[in-house]
Amino acid sequence: MRLTVPLEAPEAADPERFGPKAANLARVAQAGLPTPGGTCIDVEAYRAQLQHLGLRAAAREAASADLPLARRRALEVRLGLFQQPIAVPVLDAWQALRGVPAAVRSSALVEDREGATCAGQFESYLGIASEADYLTAVRACWAALWSVRALRYLALQEIDPVRNAMAVLVQPFVASRAAGGGLSRTPTGGMILTAAPGAGSAIAQGEVVPDRYLLDPAAVVVDVQAGQSHTAAGCAHERAVARPRNACLDRSQASELGTLLLRTEALFGHPVEIEWVLGASGFQLVQARPLRIETAPLLAEPCPSDSVLRGQPAGIGRATGRTCVVRCECELGRIAPGEVLVTKVAGPGLSHVLPTVAGVVTELGGSTSHLASLARERGIPMVLGAPDATLRIPDGVQLTVDGVLGSASWQRRPRVPQSEGRPDGLRVGLPGSRRESVGGARRPRGAAREDAG
């Protein structure tokens, strides 16, 4: 059995050999939709490397219930994968590029499945220009299975990491002038595209406010909202400077991309989320995964509020809770169950707080960021790209997050002192937090979540 297979080969569409991410893209390529092409490395290469290095036993123990032992074994596996040469034939994928820089992407067996996207939990490397860097990137994709972030995510999803394995997708790197994502269906029946200049990683990481294009079901552009560029701050507690910019795509380009999105949905037979790049060869798709959507909510009486802030919706429901405004990751420990997190960057590193919070509002990010995908997966309302949210929304007020309409509304009431509302900061079902269980997501009790449908 070959360990490296071209993306266009029929066997590349097998998710048990190449992971759903690579297998989905293989289906897209084989259906005649534009992709950069590339080569898939079988999960058996990862397993064979573990066997060669004598790390199979350590990998099994890394999934143990004994947390200190699990952490030691996970570190042993990661270090072992980096410290020893690769003993399995994976150079074919590099040589097939014929000198073109590479994009090396993870494709785990549990990735991009319905209900478990693993969005942003593993690794991808762009612009790899040497054989040595390529081999390091392959090792890093394998080792990402045993990162703290990935193991925490798998534990929340109740997925046994021992049954997981990592395939790798090696593609020609596209020097893109714009990139972004797309949702083939919204709760109101249309489509959404996002775009930003460059390679698109900033959109996935929730580090920019991207362009947002709303299309009707026939891929006709209905509305365009240009994104923002940001000048980085010198410290996490300082503020980045936002600057308006022109939209990356004109209406005809957005409609062309919308047509590709419709064709991808038709291919899979269900709503999809895509990632795309725009380079010298035009639009190319680089990822397609299942998309969770909800039907549009019935019109309800608006929540009484003093102020409303709008941004890009993640597309899931509505919830109310007390705000916890966090301006730096060092403050994440302040979040109590059932609160609404208000923060700056919509990065996938926040995935570990999603099982706790009632909703999320961020200053940066868009509807197709990895954190938005994780929020849809867990049924958590989220509003992204809400300008100056951490300054405008007070800490401790009652905030209603509408993840379908993209609004955050609040009444100006002071935060309840810790001794009155949450003596230990860890209780579930706190006064002022209202969420209920939807789609199997764990939520604080006593909730009053208004579902989108």
Report how far residue 433's alpha carbon sits from residue 351's, in angstroms, rounded to the nearest whole number: 20
- Predicted pLDDT of residue 228: 83
pLDDT of residue 327: 87
Nearest Cα neighbor of 42 from 147, 203, 167 is 167
pLDDT for 414: 52
Instruction: Return the number of other C-beta atoms located less than 10 Å from residue 70's C-beta.
Output: 18
Question: SS3 for the chain, per residue?
Answer: CCCEEECCCHHHHCHHHHHHHHHHHHHHHHCCCCCCCCEEECHHHHHHHHHHHCCHHHHHHCCCCCHHHHHHHHHHHHHHHHHCCCCCCCHHHHHCCCCCCEEEEEEECCCCECCECCCCCCCEEEEECCHHHHHHHHHHHHHHHHCHHHHHHHHHCCCCHHHCCEEEEEEECCCCCEEEEEECCCCCCCEEEEEEECCCHHHHCCCCECEEEEECCCCCEEEEECCEEEECCCCCCCCCEEEECCCCCCHHHHHHHHHHHHHHHHHHCCCEEEEEEEECCEEEEEEEEECCCCCCCCCCCCCCCCEEEECEECCCCEEEEEEEECCCHHHHHHCCCCCEEEECCCCHHHHHHCCCCCEEEECCCCCCCHHHHHHHHHCCCEEECCCCHHHHCCCCCEEEEECCCCEEEEECCCCCCHHHHCCCCCCCCCCCCECCCCCCCCCCCCCCCECCC
**Residue 176 CA from chain centroid, whole number:** 20
At 424 the pLDDT is 36
pLDDT < 50 stretches in the chain: 231-235, 298-301, 415, 417-453
